[in-house]
Structure 1
């Protein structure tokens, strides 16, 4: 199995389960997306301890929906599991249904197929993140819906399900959670999914052993140094006021075994300069392909342009901050994670700008793309083909079956909840 269920398929399957098992499962609408699509919350069990799982936070990461569906099926098969832990488990089926419908990638387990249909909104259109201090924009309707659910439930644990294209698995904790790190590593090892020795995410986060990052005390009140994302604005940290611990569970689509290598690197700063130069060089290749071509206004263009504009700051951040106590690039595994990240950012930018150019050529008036626009789209696709092939060969990227990705997320969640209930 290599296909993920679409958001609509997940909703239909969960609705059937709820209709067949009304004493165990309930489904209700908790809000609407910006385009008017319903946001559905599934609730299972009747215990006094609430747990929340959020799927579909990022448009390009469809594994969460499959994991939520499998979780519901497990509860149907063994409803006593929830009762024995005095637990009611809630799951938001898809936080960003609008974005999910724009991402059309993955025609088979192919990196190129995935990126030809790639879409991930720009930062201000990602509902898992909230406006910061001084930002005049209101929260997205999807964000308001999630905050409302968190205010209502005040869950013991909030799980946020994510998937990274190439690399390994890891978890991020907003506060200490006894047994969580070991539970994650045990499950990943049993499934033969590599964990990232030190992911490049969360430069300011603490390392609680291989594959586990923890937000430092007071981190939810501070801005991260990495300009590509600010954790003080995340809905991960929002429910800390209720004592909720948020756990971000990342499952790789393509596994790169080298991310687990604990071998120390002699000169992490030199490694970061190298990947920073690689990032900037590839951004220049994308910019060269777009030279003289008007950028059409579209969600794809806005997201690609943000990456092109912010990535130079990301490279500076890596060089200035990461060689300290964060552990970034301090091991061969972390250096591999950084090398993948340096390649991923320009690949995403090229993919979405190509889609923007192609969409421009298919307007309602039926006019064809200009020769220059069509040439730019072809040049970007050539870069994508080259870079996807490099990722596959240089990092030995191997497709992780969807069933394995789902097993990783569902088992990690269940093990953490069971440990917290003991």
Structure 2
């Protein structure tokens, strides 16, 4: 069991082997906690479009309401372990964090999670496998599907979590994410100085570098501190999907936090930006050719994911061409697309063995390139989960210090 030592360091200590928790183990644990503690309960929020339950563990405490979402993307599994560690903290008698009431949705996308299986020990090979990897197409991601102007168009999983947000009107909402490599960073809705300090101590405390603006992509709009960016305001056309953090901020002024931690440590790619652009463009052409020999991509979830992932490769190639050095993301983007295409071929029960083999060869080729260029090795799971837990605790403590919280303008 993980533990939390408030007097010395906010580092999660995991069992030997550091296995990630899974939605299944968290479901069992949540019900055990609800049975063991009178102020703790499991609530059914709703069901997914495929009929799977979405539940939340509510741990009653003070008047401040905090919602924590894990499993928002099925291939981002660090949050499962962070949630398990958070429950360890909250279960301790007299825990200071019990000054808040906590609502923890340990699996925000059960339909997606049913298709993605984290495999240990973690490596690039065990992460990107056609049998176990799944990241939904954007339109099938509940986390990015909040539509205030058109709620009837939301996925059932989105409506279930939105119901919790609308009911408790949280003071804070944390959406747990992880990147594949690079540095740690956070998107926040409010200028919160304690979070700035918490991010600043990431390199020393957790051996995690801080991300630079290029790694954070186009999500943030204003840098507030090293590794901390303000969440972009929702576009005026609210028919487009927004995130849970954006929705809660828009509706209730909720303090939102999206902590991103890297799964792998990677070296700088030896490629120039121009070389990377050519590699990504060629990969896209090869993947499109391979897809043309398979059943229509819209027939499977992984096929629709592959269609979107292949579709963005030209834009990634254009962006790489403007860079001096290649980005690690250019490798990860190709691997996602290649793995999703292979999964589509497998899920479609392709009889054309040559077409299936072509997908396998493309994935193996890009896997070798990624390993050669990036030499990725997994960060210790106790450190990445500990970093997220540190930020959650910092945010909860700041809710009781009105001087530290300044509404963004």
TMscore range, shorter length? 0.7 to 0.9
Q: CA deviation at 1:78?
A: 4.1
Alpha-carbon RMSD: 2.9
Alignment check: 8 A CA contact 1:171 1:213 kept: yes
When normalised by structure 2's length, the TM-score is: 0.83
Deviation at 1:371, TM superposition (A): 2.7
Is this contact kept in 2: 1:99–1:120, CA < 8 A?
yes
Q: What's the counterpart of residue 282 of structure 2? A: 281
Distance (whole Å) between structure 2 residues aligned to residue 396 and residue 375 of structure 1: 26
Determine whether 1:34 maps to 2:41: no
Q: Which residue of the other structure, out of 49, 55, 63, is the alignment partner of 1:48?
A: 63
Once residues 255 and 168 of structure 1 are traced to their aligned partners in structure 2, the CA distance between those partners, rounded to angstroms, is 9
| 2:388 match | 409
Aligned mates of 1:152, 1:11 — CA distance in 2? 22
Task: Show CA shifts across 1:378-408 (max 9, x none).
Answer: 3233224323423xxx334221122222111
Matched, 1:302 2:304: yes
The alignment status of 1:22 with 2:38, answered yes or no, reads yes
1:221 partnered with 2:235: yes
- Name the SS of the counterpart of 1:89 in structure 2: strand
Check conservation: 1:14, 1:69, Cα contact below 8 A.
no
- 2:149, 2:65 → 1: CA distance? 33
- 1:346 corresponds in structure 2 to 334
Between the aligned partners of 1:238 and 1:51, the Cα distance in structure 2 is: 15
Corresponding residue of 1:57: 72
Q: Secondary structure at the match of 1:220?
A: coil
Matched, 1:395 2:383: no
CA separation of 1:122 and 1:135: change in aligned 2, threshold 3 A: farther
Specify the alignment match of 2:260 in structure 1: 250
Q: How has the CA–CA distance of structure 1 residues 58 and 371 changed in structure 2, closer, same or farther, with 3 Å as cutoff?
A: same
- Structure 1, unmatched stretches of 5+, are 225-229, 260-270, 324-328, 362-367
Residue among 323, 335, 345 paired with 1:357: 345
Unaligned 5+ segments in structure 2 are 1-16, 402-409
Q: Deviations over 1:113-155 (max 9, x none)?
A: 1000211000111001126699897100111111111111111
Aligned length: 379
1:381 matched residue in structure 2: 363
| Counterpart among 160, 175, 178 of residue 145 in structure 1 | 160
Identify the match of residue 184 of structure 2 among 147, 169, 191. 169
Q: Say if 2:293 and 2:355, in contact at 8 Å, map to a contact too.
A: no
| Cα distance in 1, alignment partners of residues 18 and 369 from structure 2 | 22
State the 1:277 CA deviation: 4.0
User: Per the alignment, do residues 100 and 188 of structure 1 end up closer, same or farther by CA in structure 2, a change over 3 Å counting?
Assistant: farther
Alpha-carbon spacing, 1:152–1:159, altered in 2? closer, same or farther (3 Å): same
SS of 1:102 mapped into structure 2 = coil
